[in-house]
Amino acid sequence: MKDPMIGQQLANFRVERLLGQGGMATVYYGHDIKLQRPVAIKVIDKRYKNDPAYTTRFVNEARMMANWRHENLIQIYYAGDELGYSYYVMEYVDGDDLSTVMSAYAEEGAQMPNDDILRIGNAIASALDYAHRQGVIHRDVKPSNVLIAKDGRVLLGDFGMALEVSDGSMGNIFGTPHYISPEQAKRSADAVPQSDLYSLGVILYEALAGAVPFNDASPASIALLHITQAPPSLRSVNPEISPAVEAVILKALEKNPKNRYQSGAQLMSSLGEALKSTSSSPKMSLPPLPVGVPTIRHNRVPVDQMTKHLKPKKKGDTIYRPIADIPAATARDTKEPKKKNRWIFILLLLLLLGIGGWYFTKSGFFATRNIPASTFTSPPPTLTDVPVLPTQTLTDTPAQSTASLTSVPSTTPTATLTFTPTSTETVIPTAVATDSPTEQPSITPTSDSVSIPLPGIPTVKYPDGNNLTLLWNDTSFHMLNRSRESRSLSGFSFERLDANDQPTDTFPGYRWENNKFKYIPSKHCVSIKIYRDEDPPYIDPPDCHGTYASIIQPSKEENPELFFWNPKEGSTQFRVLWLKEEVARCEISASTCEIYIP
C-alpha cells in the first residue's frame, strides 16, 4: 500500500518519495515549492507521535540544530506540526552515507586512502567539537550518520539521541553497540564529550582495518567487549599501518575517557602527524583477528571516484564494481606493473599442454579399456575400497520381498555393498547380507528390494557464506545483513510451505527496491510491516540499530499472499531462496532464523 505521506504538502514542502527510516523517524525527499529547491523532510514515526518523551527529543533536535552554523552540520530550514505529525525540513544532501562508502572499500579488501580518512575524520571531529562547545553530546556517532555529498562536503547528522550536558533526560537511550563508548555501554547518561571521540576512534579504526574492533551477534556482547577487552591489533590486519598510527587509534579507544584525546582537533592532529611519517615500520608477526576478518591492502582510489561506481553489475551480484573495472584515468596509481614475459609464459604453457595431450592420446590413457571378469579375484572387492558410507542394517519383512533399512541389534543380518564386475570397467553395486564373518549369502537388490536414502539437504547450504538474520512477529518481518557485503534485494524470495511442502504465499525481494536502494547494505535491515489504521505492535530489533535500507507496508486485505511468515493453519515453515535456489527453511514459530548465501 502506498505510503500516505507521499504526495502530501507540509507548509511549503511537497513530500515526493521515501529516503529512509530510522528508529524514531522517517526521512522523505521533498521539494520546496516556494524556493524551488530539494529538501529532506524528517517526520516522527506514527508509533511515537503520541509519546511525549520521543516528541520532546524530536523537537529538541530541530530546535537545537536550527541555531547552529557549521560547514559540517546539516542545516535546518523549517519545523512544523501538520496532519497530526511533527516534522522538520533540512537541506537535502545528494550523496552517500559513510557506511555505504566504507562497505565499498571493505568488499574490495582495500583501505580507504589516507587523505580521505583525514578529510572525513577532520570533518567529523570539527562538527563534534562545535557541538561540544554548545554543550551537546551526540551519543550516536556512526558511519550511517555521516553523509558524503557529491560536491565533497562531509556532514554529520541525526542528533536525535543528543544529550545536553546540563540535562540528563533521556539518558537511558542506548547508542549503536559497534560504536558505543564503554561509559555509555554501562550507563548512557554517563556520556561525556570524549564518548563521541571514542566513537570517532572506532570509525577511524574501521577505515584503516576494514572491520570494527568488536563484533558479535548479540548487541549486549558487543557492549561488554567495549567495556572489558582491548581492541585487536590494527597491524595484524593492515601491516602497512605504522606503530605511530596504531598508537593514536588505541589512545582514542582508551577505556577511561580521561586517557583519550580531549578534543577532536587533538585526535586528528595526532593522526595526521602519524600518517605523515615516511618511515615504513617492519611487518610484525602478530596474532590474527577472529575468523572471517581478512587482511586489507592499501588503496589509492579516492572516495569521490569510488562513489561513482556504487552501481550493481547485474542481478544477484554485489553492488560495487571491482576496483579493476574503474577506468585508469580515475583510479590514480592503481595500475599494476605489466608482466614483461607474459606472452612467453602463455606460449610455454600452450606448448606443454600440447605435448601432454599428445602423450596421453598416444598411450591410450583416455581410451576405453575392456577388463575381463576373470581379472577380479573372489570374493569381489567390497565397498570398503571406496569412501565409506554410514553402516546400514538389513531386516527381512515376511509379508514383503522388500528389505528395509533400520537400526536393530548386531545379530540381525547386515548389508554390505560389493562390486560385481562386468566385461568392462563399469562397476555395479550388489548387496551381501551377513550373519557372521564366515557366512556371506549373496543378495542382488532390485529397484524394489532395498531403498537407500539420499543424503539430506544440509540445514546451512553455504556455511561459509554471507550471514543474514531474519526476525519477525505477527505484524512485521525484518532481514538484517550481518555480512560485510551488500546483496541484491531482487536475489531473494520467500515462500510459505503448506502441509505437503508446496509453496503458497510468496514475497519477491524486488518489492523492497526503491529509488536509492536496490540492495541491502552491510549492517542494514529491510522490513515488511502489515499496514493497519491503528498502531500495531511492530518489532524494532535492536540489532537493526534503526538503520533500514527499505521498509514497505502492504495491506493484508489487499495483498494477503505477501505475508509468508504469519501463523496459518497447515503451515509451519517458510523457505528462503537465493537466485531461485533454496538456501534455508525456517520454523514460523521460532520468530528468528539465520541464513547464509554465497
Point out the residues that are catalytic. 140
Contact indicator for 81, 58 with CB cutoff of 8 Å: no
Local structure of residue 130 (DSSP, 8 states) = H
- Could you give the maximum distance between any two Cα atoms of the chain, in Å? 99
Rounded Cα–Cα distance for residues 266 and 268 (Å): 6
Backbone phi, then psi, for 289, in 5-degree steps?
-70, 170
Backbone phi, then psi, for 267, in 5-degree steps?
-60, -50
Q: Which of 35, 140, 131 is nearest to 92 (CA)?
A: 35
Give 41: exposed, middle or buried? Use CB within 10 Å, 0-12, 13-18, 19+: buried
Phi-psi region of 443 (alpha: psi -120 to 50; beta: other; left: phi over 0): beta
Q: Which of 509, 468, 471 is nearest to 492 (CA)?
A: 509
Contact indicator for 548, 514 with CB cutoff of 8 Å: no
Contact indicator for 26, 45 with CB cutoff of 8 Å: yes
- The 3-state secondary structure of 342-394 reads HHHHHHHHHHHHHHHHHHHHHHCCCCCCCCCHHHCCCCCCEHHHCCCCCCCEE
Local structure of residue 580 (DSSP, 8 states) = T
Amino acid at 492: F
Local structure of residue 415 (DSSP, 8 states) = E
Q: Which of 82, 59, 90 is nearest to 10 (CA)?
A: 82
Q: Which of 422, 400, 413, 462 is nearest to 440 (CA)?
A: 413
Q: Where is 560: in which H helix or E strand?
A: none
Q: Copy the grid coordinates of residue 484.
A: 560485510
Distances (CA, A) of 411 to 71, 387, 393, 431, 434: 85, 25, 10, 18, 10
Rounded Cα–Cα distance for residues 93 and 268 (Å): 25
Q: Copy the grid coordinates of residue 260.
A: 583519550
Contact indicator for 277, 247 with CB cutoff of 8 Å: no
